[in-house]
Amino acid sequence: MGRSLRRVMGSALAYAFILAVTLPVILLYVLLFLTSFATDMEGIVPKGFTLKNWEFIVSGNIRVPGAEYQYPNLYLVMGNTFLLAISVAGAEMFLASLAGYAISRFRFRGRSLLMGTILVLHAFPGVALLIAIFYILNALGLYDTLVGVFIIKVALDLPLAIWIMKGFFDGIPWDLEMSALIDGCSRFQAWLRVILPNVRNGLMAVLIFGFLSGWSEFIYILTFISSQKYWTLSMLVYAFTSGEYFYINPGVTATIAIIYMLPVVAFFLFAQKYLLRIQIAGKGVV
């Protein structure tokens, strides 16, 4: 009885601690939803409820507060965001799976140096590279294009993705691959048919990280995009949350924030089981 009570008390304390830690975050989300449906807020309590803040999602037309001018259409902006996020995720998964495999399985001159420098590259803060990136984009004729931002994102995210994939490949025993080769597979066939299915979780992890990275991209859009037709949702949220607060409409701002957030939450729920299985460290060749 005493032990059982202690167990219950222990659990209760643990739950209380978790609740205390997560409550502020949960409250933020709750407030965001309340604000988007509120006519106005009295502190953290809505004065009344309305669907007016959601009206713009029918046409996608969003007026600049204080003017008749409209920001780029919501669906164009969402389309750009999806395009960027999906292409970044896909490219990172594809390239990291090849590079991670090569680094994990092949011995070649400069391999250790490459492994070390890859991580150093990831350590550079993106902001520090803005000028250099501009010159590269300029030389490639990719300034003010989403393709330019896509290339930057993939290039800067790839080191971590490669390391993640290398860890997964390291965890696959050589024997498995050898068996495939003995059975007549080419190296590419062994990679594609035998190895890749065994690193599904890793691929999903890279895909998820890539998607989230592309979806939330802001600084490169802000710096290297001047045409509003290439805006992504992060710019729209920025437009609504910055500047003088007299022009800020909290209801519409909260709604846009929710629109920005929901796809990520949905994607995260779908992919959660893969994230939980991530084991980056492996036992492969070092």
Partner 1 sequence: MRRGVSPTVAGIAAFIIGLIVGAVVMYAIAGMGAAGGVAREEYEKLLKENEKLKAKIEELSKKLQAAGAKEITLKGWIIAPHPPSEYRLKNIKIAAEILNKWLKIMGANVRIKIDGEFFVRPVEWGEYKNKFYLAAKAGKAPHIYLTGHEDIGFLADNGYIIPLDDYIKEYWDVVYYDVISTLWNAVKYKGHIWGVPQDTEVRPLYFRKDILRKMGWSEEEIEALPKKIEKCEITLWDLLKIAKEAKDKGLVKRGILHRVKEGYDYFQFYLAFGGRLWDPDKGKMVFTKHAWKKTLEWFHKAVWEYGVISPNQFSGDWDKDFHGPFTKGEALFLSGGSWHKGEWISKGLLTEESFKENIGFALHPCGEKGMKPVTLSHPLVYTITKQAEKDGVAEIAFILITMVTDPHLNAFHAVKSSHLAILNSEISDSRYTKDWFLHDVAYMLKYTTFIPNHPKWGDYSRIVFNILKAVESDKSLTPDKAFETLLKEIQRTLGDAVIIEE
Least distance in Å: CB of 128 to partner 1? 17
> Which tokens in the block code for residue 224?
């290297």
Nearest-CA neighbor of 97 among 176, 155, 157, 158? 158
- The number of helix segments (H) and strand segments (E) in the chain equals 13, 4
Residue with Cβ nearer partner 1 (108 or 245): 245
Q: At what angle do helices 250-276 and 74-105 cross, to 10 degrees?
A: 20
Least distance in Å: CB of 137 to partner 1? 7
Q: Does 126 bind partner 1 (CB under 8 A)?
A: no
From 9-17, 36-44, 112-120, 226-234, span contacting partner 1 (CB under 8 A): 226-234
Place of tokens 């995720």: 89
Q: Does 147 bind partner 1 (CB under 8 A)?
A: no
From 7-15, 151-159, 178-186, 245-253, span contacting partner 1 (CB under 8 A): 245-253
Task: Please pick, from the candidates 35, 104, 223, 255, the single residue that binds partner 1 as defined by CB under 8 A.
Answer: 223
From 25-33, 140-148, 159-167, 250-258, span contacting partner 1 (CB under 8 A): 140-148
* One-letter identity of residue 225: I
Q: Are 81 and 89 in contact (CB under 8 A)?
A: no
Residue with Cβ nearer partner 1 (205 or 225): 225
Q: Does 127 bind partner 1 (CB under 8 A)?
A: no
Q: Are 169 and 281 in contact (CB under 8 A)?
A: no
Task: Please pick, from the candidates 244, 269, 276, 281, the single residue that binds partner 1 as defined by CB under 8 A.
Answer: 244
Q: Does 218 bind partner 1 (CB under 8 A)?
A: no
Residue with Cβ nearer partner 1 (10 or 66): 66
Total of residues contacting partner 1 (CB under 8 A) = 25
Phi, psi at 71, each rounded to 5°: -70, 165
DSSP state of 216: T
Q: Does 250 bind partner 1 (CB under 8 A)?
A: no
Task: Please pick, from the candidates 107, 246, 269, 281, the single residue that binds partner 1 as defined by CB under 8 A.
Answer: 246
Integer Cα distance of 44 and 31 in angstroms: 7
From 6-14, 111-119, 183-191, 225-233, span contacting partner 1 (CB under 8 A): 225-233
Q: Does 262 bind partner 1 (CB under 8 A)?
A: no
Least distance in Å: CB of 87 to partner 1? 22
Q: Are 118 and 155 in contact (CB under 8 A)?
A: no
Q: Does 175 bind partner 1 (CB under 8 A)?
A: no
- Detail the DSSP E strand segments found in 31-110: 41-42, 45-46, 62-63, 70-71
Q: Are 219 and 126 in contact (CB under 8 A)?
A: yes
> Which tokens in the block code for residue 90?
């896909």
Least distance in Å: CB of 50 to partner 1? 19
> Which residues, numbered 35-94, are part of the site for partner 1 (CB under 8 A)?
64-69
How many Å from the N-terminal Cα to the C-terminal Cα in the chain? 53
Integer Cα distance of 155 and 164 in angstroms: 15
Residues that bind partner 1 (CB under 8 A): 64-69, 134, 137-138, 141, 143-144, 223-224, 226-228, 238-239, 242-247
